[in-house]
Structure 1
């Protein structure tokens, strides 16, 4: 990492020229061919691979992440994402045929082209500085866009390595990394982009959405959410404890999809607490402070925010509670609260706080989760199939993991995104390509079909209207009561099952249908 030069801060006055550079590059159409995109992706892969050790070290310096965790959730993730995209890009970029066309429309060869949106802005986050910055960039490159990446200033070491890799391995005119904080981000938002992709807090997301609306710029917002875990009376307390605790140990709970609070049936609470305590001893035999794999809070500002939330709660600390401001250490802390209005539930903790609110039954749990935050980024129901199915049916969320903690967010080919207040748009896997792609509908009308098109030209007559209806009017497959009409095959099968008696075999019915098909073909 020492051999990688420090980045040079960009003057705010230079932001418009950097923006114009990637815009101009897009309009040369150089980035459109699949061959160009594949060359960029393959070069990017090797650039990241060569910088792998430096990236792992950067995550350790910024967040205290172990090399194991940083490879699993950051570097290895992006490398595999590039390989997946390279393998499937040609298939993703192919034109698609329109669906369910009548005969007349088929002559126009309607199709859907996959066009790049243009020059895009990607604003990364600090909690997974590699994955959440470079993951969207992979999608932008694959789609044929040009891009400016603004990494989080809160993870400066990771930002420096990413800037180096992008500069060394990608087309400098098409892809830029711009370092900075609020002033530089504001200057970037003053520019006109073809899409803005932002990962971070809901408060900043609102600012970006408002700014983008001034120029009708589309946005993808990957925001946080007060994600609930719901543990029913039929859940396995041991599995729930282990899986939800893992979610708070990973990256010290600085994960936008980790559970913000747990709603648990009061009958299960004592055993769940016992299993949490057992799991903590198993996962961290020497305690959190003695565990080298356990990271730190990103900076003092975030540490103070978490400490204030903990100090303000009226709940009872059951496990943990130790902190150290000098090292930004924050122990996994389990707190039993008595109200949805508690400080630990009112805001997203984004840290290793585990508030638990006992409830009387599943009805109360669903009611509280829908009230605290109706559209969280993630939802984690634990219980029987009928119970978890009901929870999914009566709640909303960006994604959900049944009987687990944010496993859906760990599958790199599954679309990931929020809903409502937790964000808009999705990415990862094919969705990353589609996020930066415009699905452009195209038709080509042949000259010889002009005779059929005379119905669209004035003057309009009754004869033209009758002809138009014959060409275009569909027929409902349901009656006035909304009952679906059955076709002749269904009629024959029904006749065979009742009117022909019990002795008629399945093969006899098939024979009748076969004869009917032959008769129909003969008429055609």
Structure 2
């Protein structure tokens, strides 16, 4: 029997200021700062996920038609494993750090870095991974010692209600809250003053949030999308490239911000690559995608129509797929051979099961094409020789990259994840989640006995500048042309000196041992030591 999920209910707009104020008040009592408190909240969140697995799975099925397997590995288990990782490492992360590379004289001031929570934060989740993209940053906020208000996406309403239930039943209600709703509720939340705003979603909404945050100098972490390129060179394994890139588009029916948006394939390997796509689709869905429980649906009709229009407006040729059913928001994986980068299937992020292929003459053309697309990609995927994939990594900027795979870098909970340029700013997951909600506060302590040494800094200044420079000045180790001056220190640090020193020590040790051997009358020295 399927678990009962409460119907979606928006939070009363007039209650939002008091909800935010409660979380702020709790933070000001310092209740959320002790590591022991944070660990308890994280462990309770783990049990909240554990106890509501069936409800979360059913909610994702209702919202997105998401397969049980996908909900498990990329939603529930992902968050639970992240919590375990964070709880095992939190005490170590939260400790004060000694300041690095400090001069001897400054060590007298005990410089250190103290990790402090930013305060009360707002987290705005996304519809495509309604659990991971909401609870993922919340894990980081709790770990950092912040209090938080979570705003799940209303586009996945069933999931939003289960998230609200978990937070209210398992976490401290004075420190953590969920606000559900759409534009009015989001607007009311953005009108509040936050210590940080964490948003996952589209670039258009991200721009609105960044502008609103700028009014009050509120820092933001923006996890956006991008027109992510994939490269398949003549040296790639056509079968592996086809299977792995296909997986990147079939997962969640392509509603993944880091799945490839278009694939550039060198012309010689293009026929083999297309053939392997056909083979892989038959292997993955022997009864077809329409009748498979392993293929998700588009989240709603608005997004269905958006994706359909991209296909309808394309001047390319459909090679595989193309079936759509509006009544079920079903779109099967659709492979289209397009003519250029201005095709409707490339100029915008598809966020659906579309696989436009663009034939290129060589890797240089592919790199030029990727760099001419205005949006900086969130992900990059390259299949080819090591020299080719290295060249692509060096010459195309992206938030992250997976070589010989599709978005695998984004599936590891402990690996920092974030965009660059148009695809976002800031990073999270694992320790990066703790860091993004933490202020690294530099602190020094000046002892009273050192006052005589500090006399140089006080007026009158006459004659003190030269003395100060002698005490604190550092000599440049380079000339006017920027060339390094290799003095004695360089050679003492160099590998040849170190190797010679090791040889000298070994020879000396052997000679010393042989001398003791001879002195003791144990026999004649070998000829090679005489």
> TM-score category by the smaller chain?
over 0.9
Q: Which residue of structure 1 aligns with residue 50 of structure 2?
A: 49
Q: Which residue of structure 2 aligns with residue 145 of structure 1?
A: 146
* Residues 1:219 and 2:215 are matched in the alignment: no
The total of aligned residue pairs comes to 507
In the alignment, the residues of structure 1 paired with residue 321 and residue 22 of structure 2 have an alpha-carbon distance, to the nearest angstrom, of: 52
- For the Cα contact (< 8 Å) 1:496–1:509, is it kept in 2? no
2:359 aligns to what SS in structure 1? strand
CA change 1:172–1:475 in 2 (3 A) is: same
Unaligned 5+ residue runs, structure 2? 510-530
Q: How far 1:372 moved relative to its partner?
A: 1.2
Query: Under a length normalisation based on structure 1, what TM-score does the superposition of the two structures give?
Result: 0.93
Superposed CA offset, 1:146-186 (max 9, x none): 00000000111111111001001100010000100011001
Residue correspondence of structure 1 range 72-83 to structure 2 within 5 A: 72-83=73-84
* Residues 1:332 and 2:328 are matched in the alignment: no
In the alignment, the residues of structure 2 paired with residue 370 and residue 70 of structure 1 have an alpha-carbon distance, to the nearest angstrom, of: 34
- For the Cα contact (< 8 Å) 1:232–1:264, is it kept in 2? yes
In the alignment, the residues of structure 1 paired with residue 53 and residue 156 of structure 2 have an alpha-carbon distance, to the nearest angstrom, of: 17
2:380 aligns to what SS in structure 1? strand
In the alignment, the residues of structure 2 paired with residue 104 and residue 440 of structure 1 have an alpha-carbon distance, to the nearest angstrom, of: 21
Q: How far 1:7 moved relative to its partner?
A: 5.8
- For the Cα contact (< 8 Å) 2:7–2:158, is it kept in 1? no
* Residues 1:18 and 2:16 are matched in the alignment: no
* Residues 1:478 and 2:478 are matched in the alignment: yes
Q: Which residue of structure 1 aligns with residue 503 of structure 2?
A: 507
Unaligned 5+ residue runs, structure 1? 499-503, 514-524
In the alignment, the residues of structure 1 paired with residue 461 and residue 274 of structure 2 have an alpha-carbon distance, to the nearest angstrom, of: 77
In the alignment, the residues of structure 1 paired with residue 248 and residue 216 of structure 2 have an alpha-carbon distance, to the nearest angstrom, of: 39
* Residues 1:233 and 2:229 are matched in the alignment: no
Q: How far 1:30 moved relative to its partner?
A: 0.4
Superposed CA offset, 1:463-490 (max 9, x none): x223312321122333444124143582
Q: CA RMSD in A?
A: 2.0
In the alignment, the residues of structure 2 paired with residue 6 and residue 351 of structure 1 have an alpha-carbon distance, to the nearest angstrom, of: 27
In the alignment, the residues of structure 1 paired with residue 205 and residue 38 of structure 2 have an alpha-carbon distance, to the nearest angstrom, of: 31
1:249 aligns to what SS in structure 2? helix
Q: How far 1:454 moved relative to its partner?
A: 1.0
- For the Cα contact (< 8 Å) 1:345–1:372, is it kept in 2? no
Q: Which residue of structure 2 aligns with residue 67 of structure 1?
A: 68
* Residues 1:269 and 2:270 are matched in the alignment: yes
Q: Which residue of structure 1 aligns with residue 513 of structure 2?
A: none
Residue correspondence of structure 1 range 369-388 to structure 2 within 5 A: 369-388=370-389
Q: How far 1:12 moved relative to its partner?
A: 1.2
Query: Under a length normalisation based on structure 2, what TM-score does the superposition of the two structures give?
Result: 0.92
In the alignment, the residues of structure 2 paired with residue 240 and residue 136 of structure 1 have an alpha-carbon distance, to the nearest angstrom, of: 32
1:417 aligns to what SS in structure 2? coil
In the alignment, the residues of structure 1 paired with residue 233 and residue 418 of structure 2 have an alpha-carbon distance, to the nearest angstrom, of: 26
CA change 1:413–1:507 in 2 (3 A) is: same
Q: How far 1:362 moved relative to its partner?
A: 0.9
- For the Cα contact (< 8 Å) 1:31–1:146, is it kept in 2? yes
- For the Cα contact (< 8 Å) 1:426–1:435, is it kept in 2? yes
CA change 1:4–1:298 in 2 (3 A) is: closer
In the alignment, the residues of structure 2 paired with residue 197 and residue 495 of structure 1 have an alpha-carbon distance, to the nearest angstrom, of: 51
In the alignment, the residues of structure 1 paired with residue 369 and residue 508 of structure 2 have an alpha-carbon distance, to the nearest angstrom, of: 58
Q: How far 1:268 moved relative to its partner?
A: 1.0
Q: How far 1:494 moved relative to its partner?
A: 9.2
* Residues 1:283 and 2:279 are matched in the alignment: no
Q: Which residue of structure 2 aligns with residue 349 of structure 1?
A: 350
In the alignment, the residues of structure 1 paired with residue 487 and residue 276 of structure 2 have an alpha-carbon distance, to the nearest angstrom, of: 56
Residue correspondence of structure 1 range 359-374 to structure 2 within 5 A: 359-374=360-375
CA change 1:492–1:344 in 2 (3 A) is: closer
* Residues 1:391 and 2:392 are matched in the alignment: yes
In the alignment, the residues of structure 2 paired with residue 280 and residue 190 of structure 1 have an alpha-carbon distance, to the nearest angstrom, of: 48
- For the Cα contact (< 8 Å) 1:233–1:265, is it kept in 2? yes
Residue correspondence of structure 1 range 372-521 to structure 2 within 5 A: 372-462=373-463, 464-481=464-481, 482-487=483-488, 490=491, 507-508=503-504
Q: How far 1:507 moved relative to its partner?
A: 2.0
Q: Which residue of structure 2 aligns with residue 521 of structure 1?
A: none
In the alignment, the residues of structure 2 paired with residue 140 and residue 493 of structure 1 have an alpha-carbon distance, to the nearest angstrom, of: 45
In the alignment, the residues of structure 2 paired with residue 491 and residue 121 of structure 1 have an alpha-carbon distance, to the nearest angstrom, of: 53
1:298 aligns to what SS in structure 2? coil
- For the Cα contact (< 8 Å) 1:374–1:396, is it kept in 2? no
- For the Cα contact (< 8 Å) 2:6–2:158, is it kept in 1? no
Q: Which residue of structure 1 aligns with residue 299 of structure 2?
A: 298
Q: How far 1:9 moved relative to its partner?
A: 2.8
CA change 1:236–1:3 in 2 (3 A) is: closer
CA change 1:492–1:5 in 2 (3 A) is: closer
